[in-house]
Structure 1
Amino acid sequence: MKVLVSVRDAHEAALVARAGVDFIDLKEPSLGALGGLPVETVAALLRQIRRDAPATPVTATIGDWPAEALDEITERVLRVAATGVDQVKVGVERGPAALALLDRLATLKATGTPVVPVLIADDGIDPARLRLAAAGGFAAVMLDTADKRGGSLLDRIPAADLQHFIATVRATGALAGLAGALRLEEIPTLRRLGADFAGFRSAVCEGGRGQQLDGARVESLLSFAWRMSLCEQLRSE
Structure 2
Amino acid sequence: MSSKNAPFFHSFLSDTERLGVRVRPALLVSVRDEKEAKIALDAGVDLLDVKEPQHGPLGRAATDVLTEIAALKAAFPTVHFSAALGELQRGSSEKAPLALPAEYDFVKTGLSDCHSDPRWSEKFSQFRKSISEFIRPGTVRWVAVAYADHESCNAPLPETVLRVAIETNCDGLLVDTWSKSGLSTFDYLPEAQLKSLRQKCRESGLFFALAGSIKQVHLERVVEIDPDIVAVRGAVCEEQLRTSEISLSAIENFISAMDQLWVQANS
Q: Same fold (TM over 0.5)?
A: yes
Q: Which amino acid aligns with 2:141?
A: P
Is 1:62 the counterpart of 2:94 in the alignment?
Answer: no
* SS state at 1:149 partner: coil
Deviation for aligned residue 1:52: 3.2
- The answer to whether the Cα contact below 8 Å between 2:30 and 2:233 also exists between their aligned partners in 1 is yes
Q: Secondary structure at the match of 1:141?
A: strand
Unaligned 5+ runs, structure 2: 1-24, 152-156
Distance of 1:180 and 1:65 partners within structure 2: 19
**Structure showing the higher helix proportion among its residues:** 1
Greater shift, 115-124 or 184-193, is seen at 115-124
TM norm structure 2: 0.77
Point out where structure 1 has 5 or more consecutive residues left out of the alignment: none
Q: Decide which moves more: 85-94 or 211-220.
A: 85-94
Cα deviation code 1:22-67 (max 9, x no counterpart): 111011111110111111210111112x133221001111123426
Give the share of equivalent positions with the same residue, in percent.
25
Aligned residue in 1 for 2:35: 11
Q: Distance in 2 between matches of 1:149 and 1:168?
A: 29
Q: Deviations over 1:69-121 (max 9, x none)?
A: 53537x34xx3644431111211234214322343367678x73422121223
Number of corresponding residues: 228
Are residue 147 (structure 1) and residue 171 (structure 2) matched? Answer: no
For residue 84 of structure 1, the aligned residue among 96, 103, 108 is 103
Say if 1:81 and 1:175 are closer, same or farther in 2 by CA, change over 3 A.
farther
Q: TM-score, normalised by structure 1?
A: 0.86
CA distance in 2, matches of 1:106, 1:37: 18
Aligned to 2:121: 99
Structure 1 residues 206 and 82 mapped into 2: Cα distance closer, same or farther (>3 Å)? closer
Structure 1 stretch 169-178 or stretch 128-137: which is displaced more? 128-137
Whichever residue aligns with residue 100 of structure 1, its letter is E
The amino acid across from 1:132 in the alignment is: V
* 8 A contact 1:39–1:83 mirrored in 2: no
Runs of 4+ in structure 1 deviating by more than 6 angstroms, as ranges, are none
- One-letter code aligned to 2:75: D
Task: Give the C-alpha shift of residue 128 in structure 1.
Answer: 2.4
